[in-house]
Structure 1
Amino acid sequence: MKVVLASCAALPEGDGDDDALVEALRSDGVDVTWQPWGTDVHADLVVLRATWDYTERLDEFLAWCDRVPALANPVSVVRWNTDKSYLVELAGRGVPVVPTAVVEPGEEPSFPDGEFVVKPAIGAGSRGAARFTDHAAARAHFEALGVKALVQPYQSSVDAHGETALVFFAGEYSHSFHKGPMLTRDLAESESGLYLEEKLRGIEPAAAQVALAEQVLDGAAELLSLRRNDFLYARVDVVEGPGGEPLLLELELTEPSLGFKHTGPESAARLSAAIRGRR
């Protein structure tokens, strides 16, 4: 089986988190190589991994995904998931989601009381996301972005507890890791400029967080007329709501970091098995 891990020109072999996956695939007899997206690719399966500059060239990226014969996750999933407006759709299916308003360029945004976040609807690595209490400053930020944006009340629990990222392969739970607060002043930008450096560590999720993640994947599969195991990989980012309840912050089905550096080799082995199951 020949597998290509799709990257980008700035990070042609990813950021190192997928090294364990490469090792697991090769141990399982898979011919695996890295290749930046946008180029012609010939493989049994192309797995999107570090395509993190797509936000600036989304139409080109989606057109390339359309041309790839065997893509994971599938292009229909990528097209839906690269616009974070999917949060509103999931909320409409009864999924507990951080309250989200979508604002189009030229529209007058309505901001909540207290602290809130404005971020691009199409974005990665927390770039363009910022916290505000001042409505005028938030409006200026939204206008400077010049793109569709999300407005969400900031969940103050993140400052103390961060986020929990729950990772699934072929619809089955694999592992979790903790993400420190992202919208703080002390986070540095990566050398590539494609994302902010995160503070990560392995963690055991609460049962309620796993239950929410399962509900999220079921809702997404239903919306896309797919089965949960059609998602080769998924990362469900969960935060604690005002009453301590878990809320969905983001569902990552396109090119998420999967936290292999912060868990044991069995996690990479599980994704290798899921990839080989797509032959």
Structure 2
Amino acid sequence: MSARIALATTPPARDLDEDMAPLLAALHAAGAQALAVDWDDGSVDWGGFDAVLPRSTWDYCERLPAFLDWTHRVAAATQLLNPADVIAWNTDKHYLRALAEAGIAIIPSSFAEPGDAADAVWDAFVDAHPGDADLVVKPAVGAGSRDAERHPRSARAAAVAHIARLLAAGRSALVQPYLDRVDVDGETALVHIDGRYSHAIRKGPLLRRAAPATDALFAAERISAREPGADERALAERVLAAVPFDGPLAYARVDLVRAGDSTPCLLELELVEPSLFFDHAPGSAARLAAAILCRVPR
């Protein structure tokens, strides 16, 4: 009997997920039955699938407790890829602190928690980073650049109001310097499948200075294929080795930027539902399909 695979999505993402069709096709070509299924559809019997992969559950940020409850229900019924404990860890950007403590080079990061004074958080970070013209404020639980803004260091009132708005909603806020080289180099996103490097893309800069955050499901991205540097490949491998869970993971995306001295550092690690940019890497969808199916109990 062929394996039954669910690719979890959400209605607003169905027409936006460019990876869905290639992955469905690759799974079908490998002999599996594969379906796109809404993660919050209460009528779905998840135990009827041999594996479930969050493909474009891009509304999880606004519904995190319900989403994490769903991951545990699915994991109790069948194989969830990536595992529920990995997903819970990676949905909150406090994981950056854990990776920094493990020796990973990250963008300098400071977290503000509900109950903190937004003005004190901003002033302390600005004082600690006198050489940075702009700083970024974003939620610790967020995706697609939603609620993320790039503030000039002189725009104290707007930045403090942004932090305060997040904290008042019960959300943790993350403050980081904006690295100027992003405007020239963009970001490098390195995709790993089954623990091995697959391909990489370049993302153009997303955050415009003093511009409001996107109100779409995700900010529009300018994507092109990129051959990563050896130093980027090496850092991505160190990042994945520092993840505090048994591996290899079915999929991972390591997003890197270069600091002022040109060394790469970690922007984000995506282990939940990242875009994997199959269209920019022939054969990559088939590689992920194989990684999924090799995890299905025979």
TM-score band, normalised by shorter chain = over 0.9
Match of 1:46 in 2: 52
- Shift in Å, 1:188: 9.8
Match of 2:141 in 1: 122
Match of 2:217 in 1: 194
Match of 1:82 in 2: 91
Structure 1 contact 18–260 (Cα < 8 Å) conserved: no
- Shift in Å, 1:19: 1.6
CA pair 155-165 structure 1, distance change in 2 beyond 3 A: same
Structure 1 contact 111–135 (Cα < 8 Å) conserved: no
Structure 2 contact 188–228 (Cα < 8 Å) conserved: yes
Offset from partner CA, 1:75-133 (integer Å, 9 cap, x none): 00010000001001100000011111111022131322331111000000001111112
Structure 2 CA distance, aligned partners of 1:76 and 1:245? 31
Percentage identity across paired residues of the two chains: 46
Q: Does 1:67 align with 2:73?
A: yes
Larger deviation, residues 252-261 vs 130-139? 130-139
Among 155, 162, 166, the residue aligned to 1:141: 162
Aligned pairs for 1:135-214 (under 5 A) are 135-146=156-167, 147-184=171-208, 193-214=216-237
Q: Matched residue pairs, number?
A: 271
- Shift in Å, 1:38: 1.8
- Shift in Å, 1:211: 0.2
Match of 2:256 in 1: 238
Q: Which has the larger radius of gyration?
A: 2
Structure 1 contact 12–35 (Cα < 8 Å) conserved: no
- Shift in Å, 1:262: 1.8
Whichever residue aligns with residue 140 of structure 1, its letter is A
- Shift in Å, 1:22: 1.3
Unaligned regions of 5+ residues in structure 2, if any?
Answer: none
Structure 2 contact 145–213 (Cα < 8 Å) conserved: no
Structure 2 contact 8–37 (Cα < 8 Å) conserved: yes
Structure 2 CA distance, aligned partners of 1:52 and 1:145? 19
Match of 2:29 in 1: 27
Whichever residue aligns with residue 97 of structure 2, its letter is V
- Shift in Å, 1:137: 1.8
Q: Secondary structure, in 3 states, of the residue corresponding to 1:76?
A: helix
Whichever residue aligns with residue 266 of structure 2, its letter is L
